[in-house]
Structure 1
Amino acid sequence: MLRALQDLQIFVATARQGNLSSVARAMNLTPAATSAAIKRLELQLGAPLFVRSTRSLRLTKDGEHYLQYCEQALLQLELGENLLRSGREALQGKLHLSLPSDLGRNLLAPLLDGFMAAHPQVELRLQMSDHLTNIYRQPVDLVIRYGQPPDSALIALPLRPENDRVLCAAPDYIARYGTPTHPQELYRHNCLCFMLADTVHDHWRFTRAEEFISVKVKGDRVADDGDMVRRWAIAGDGIAYKSRLDITADLAAGRLLQLCPDWQGEAAPLYMLLPDRRQLTPLIKALRSHLLQYLPQRPV
């Protein structure tokens, strides 16, 4: 029974990260053990869960469907464990959070559902926006944002400090317009840009070894909502430059493909921001621990 549970944990972690080696390291297992776990599940189910290539894994349609049930099952087990551990010291109170649109809707919202299920006395209020939140003036307990905090007085707790940006496009776009092999070739392509506070982010920066380049891009679509840029990319409307966290599931499922993988995108560290360390309550500490456990990690 314990091995079967670990096999499910390995499958979910592999689906999130798309890399068996990084999952093996995180779980203190050998790559052979993680591969054997996936094979046992596929044999038991009588269906392949991943399409394998020399560089990565991506979910099959059966794998995508099975992943939803596995995540719910593991969340229910976590709920039971947390209830047993918490005993009479159940977490309670209100949480007012400000989250980025794409990350909030597509990745953090399901994780928050799991946290609320584990702590039923917690109440949640969300502000979902890519616009910068004034944490001192608006009624929020904490803000989750990409990038170094603009105010050095803020308490910045790292969630995924190693996160970066990824050049990506849908298979349909690549089939129609070809694959750029170097960032300098982006001038030939329709690039989907993000806008914040009336500033269009159309200078995309990349590094490779000691080489650094900044590419001025253009395209027919600009949005001040990161989720909209991601949806355009999945629809095959152009090339996007997205946070890896935002598109981890899309890369694993093959909805988006990473382009120019030999070039490193800009750093996009994810932080939890608080106005004062005294607001680091047991409830917020528990939420951070939950996110640290379940947020996808950058493949190595």
Structure 2
Amino acid sequence: MKAFKDIEIFTRTAELGSLSRAARSLGLTPAAASAALKRVEEDVDALLMIRSTRSLRLTQQGALYLRYCQQALKLMTEGRDAAHAIHAAARGTLRVSVSSDFGRNLLAPWLDDFQALHPDIQIRLNLSDQVSNVVKEEVDLAIRYGVPPDSTQIAIPLAANNRRILCASPEFIARAGQPATPYDLVNFNCLCFMVGERVHEQWQFTHAQKDDEVLVAVSGNCSSNDGDMVRRWAISGKGIACKSELDVAGDIRAGRLVRVCPDWQGELAPLYLVVADRRQLSPLVRVMKTFLQQKCEQLTQGSTPGETIRGC
């Protein structure tokens, strides 16, 4: 970066008041430093310094330009240090807990990309649909849908506007038809997710253009505590599922699933990166956070919010 170096030479010369001292401090010959000053003056098309064998002083233009150069050097140095810190931080082991569906179908291939970018990072992945206790368990971070029930935990949004959507396979729709509104779901086989022994069979929806809100009691012949199993049943044509848009975006693009009642949106299902304590937001965790936010944005072709931390 010759231009950066030339600006550094100009700034150091002005600060030391001597071309020879500036050259020595930067490990250069006076001739090389003089050539650099000449390039800077040619670049701005102005005389910046009046030099003689015994004295040196800035012109009015030189004094003005010096202030900008000092600011530029400060920013460049901070940027270089930040980039170095990220590079230095991108090594070590990350212990990640994630739900089975998101982990298998989205995070696993994303982690391949992540480790291609950061080969010095080792990943320990824990797949579970049970909500991880990031305080007691030996994990560095958890990736979960919904705001953590413990308000003392640190939750960083990865996809704050993600919602649940209705979906089914083309084969199921060809065989059974599809509901015109969520009210009609009572006439269809619905695939439900279980939390413990409780079946999530109360599905809530909001119309995309209206203020209408609907709460429907659904039923079906298949339910599971494994979100990926519900997705697989939907793809195989067993019924209608209400899934996170992130979880089924790839299936919808590939034609394995189609949106049902597309004018209606399910409940919000924001995706968060969760840590137990702010001190766990290490550079390594922040590298992962930024990467996942970008992946979520690419998947939904929407906007991902900046980092807003709850619980700090």
Q: CA deviation at 1:89?
A: 2.6
Q: Which residue of the partner structure matches residue 60 of structure 2?
A: none
**CA offsets 1:135-189 (integer angstroms, 9 cap, x no match):** 1111111110001111110100000000000001000000000011011111111
Contact 1:204–1:217 under 8 Å retained in 2:
yes
| 1:258 match: secondary structure | strand
User: What does 1:105-184 align with in structure 2 at a 5 Å threshold?
Assistant: 105-184=104-183
User: What does 1:138-287 align with in structure 2 at a 5 Å threshold?
Assistant: 138-208=137-207, 209-287=210-288
Contact 1:90–1:119 under 8 Å retained in 2:
no
TM-score (norm 1): 0.70
Residue 115 of structure 2 aligns with an amino acid whose one-letter code is M
Q: Distance in 1 between matches of 2:254 and 2:302?
A: 15
Residue 95 of structure 2 aligns with an amino acid whose one-letter code is H
Contact 2:192–2:230 under 8 Å retained in 1:
yes
Q: Distance in 2 between matches of 1:210 and 1:204?
A: 17
Distance change (3 Å), C-alpha of 1:88 and 1:288: closer
Give me the identity figure in percent: 50
Q: Distance in 1 between matches of 2:116 and 2:84?
A: 15
Residue 216 of structure 2 aligns with an amino acid whose one-letter code is V
**CA offsets 1:45-68 (integer angstroms, 9 cap, x no match):** xxxxxxxxxxxxxxxxxxxxxxxx
Q: Which residue of the partner structure matches residue 292 of structure 2?
A: 291
**RMSD of the alignment, in Å?**
1.7
Distance change (3 Å), C-alpha of 1:120 and 1:298: closer
| 2:111 match: secondary structure | helix
Q: Distance in 1 between matches of 2:89 and 2:135?
A: 29
Contact 1:167–1:259 under 8 Å retained in 2:
yes
| 1:241 match: secondary structure | strand
The structure whose RCO (Cα within 8 Å, separation 6+) is larger is 1
User: What does 1:49-88 align with in structure 2 at a 5 Å threshold?
Assistant: none
Q: Distance in 2 between matches of 1:255 and 1:196?
A: 26
**CA offsets 1:20-66 (integer angstroms, 9 cap, x no match):** xxxxxxxxxxxxxxxxxxxxxxxxxxxxxxxxxxxxxxxxxxxxxxx
Residue 228 of structure 1 aligns with an amino acid whose one-letter code is M
Distance change (3 Å), C-alpha of 1:88 and 1:190: closer
Contact 1:206–1:213 under 8 Å retained in 2:
yes
| 1:135 match: secondary structure | coil
Contact 2:249–2:300 under 8 Å retained in 1:
no
User: What does 1:82-101 align with in structure 2 at a 5 Å threshold?
Assistant: 89=88, 91-101=90-100
Distance change (3 Å), C-alpha of 1:136 and 1:87: closer
Structure 1 residue runs of 5 or longer lacking an equivalent are 1-83
Q: CA deviation at 1:124?
A: 1.1
Contact 1:186–1:217 under 8 Å retained in 2:
yes
Q: Distance in 1 between matches of 2:113 and 2:178?
A: 39
Distance change (3 Å), C-alpha of 1:216 and 1:283: same
Q: CA deviation at 1:90?
A: 5.8
Of structures 1 and 2, the larger Rg is shown by 2
Q: Distance in 2 between matches of 1:181 and 1:299?
A: 26
**CA offsets 1:81-109 (integer angstroms, 9 cap, x no match):** xxx97897362111111001111111111
Q: Which residue of the partner structure matches residue 51 of structure 2?
A: none
Q: Which residue of the partner structure matches residue 54 of structure 2?
A: none
User: What does 1:30-49 align with in structure 2 at a 5 Å threshold?
Assistant: none
| 1:219 match: secondary structure | coil
Contact 1:102–1:246 under 8 Å retained in 2:
yes
Residue 168 of structure 2 aligns with an amino acid whose one-letter code is A
Structure 2 residue runs of 5 or longer lacking an equivalent are 1-82, 304-312
**CA offsets 1:234-278 (integer angstroms, 9 cap, x no match):** 000000000000000011111101011111211000000010011
**CA offsets 1:113-135 (integer angstroms, 9 cap, x no match):** 11112112211111101111111
| 1:89 match: secondary structure | helix
Distance change (3 Å), C-alpha of 1:121 and 1:164: same
Contact 2:89–2:283 under 8 Å retained in 1:
no
TM-score (norm 2): 0.67
